[in-house]
Structure 1
Amino acid sequence: MSQKFNEIINSETPVLIDFFADWCGPCKMLAPILKEVKEELGEGVKIIKIDVDKNQQLAAKYQVRGVPTMMIFKDGEQKWRQSGVLQKDDLVQRIRSYS
């Protein structure tokens, strides 16, 4: 997974990573928000969901302590990180700032 992950985040397009878990209530609230963000930005963002229970090594590497945790990567570098649910407009604005 980490090799593929590195390929994914090494992108000129901002990549939003959503570290989530199936048992997490706020993660379920975030899913439709991310869908709306993707609909608004289209090709301007890649959104990748990573299940922390199935990808524990990756979650540990990025020190994900709580879910949901979102990160934005561009050109392989982590540009932003926040835990918890954000509203669509906040996320769109944040992603656009790295476009």
Structure 2
Amino acid sequence: MKKFFISLLVLLFLSFNIITLIPLAIGNIFKEGFYKPSDFNLSSKPIYNIQNVSSTDNVYVLVFDKTHSLYQSIRMEPNSPKYVLSFDPDFRIAIVGKGEVFFS
């Protein structure tokens, strides 16, 4: 009986560890802030897909060029479809709102 409870506790602790590792694998989700393209760990292509993966909050994505002029802006609803976003390595990206943006 003692071995049964010990093995049950070990399996219980292992199942909690498996559940907590799943969100850590998602690395391309970003929240509100200012970013450089190098922060996204993406390939060096000039066109990317973005999506608001939050189920309740809107998000605005603003892209500024190297002269700090607004280059592109997108307003995304919760659980939005994928949008195309293009920027160069010297651009700056601002994410505004409580939503979460997924880059691919």
Structure 2 length-normalised TM: 0.26
Q: Which structure is higher in strand share? A: 2
Structure 1 length-normalised TM: 0.27
Q: Which structure is higher in helix share? A: 1
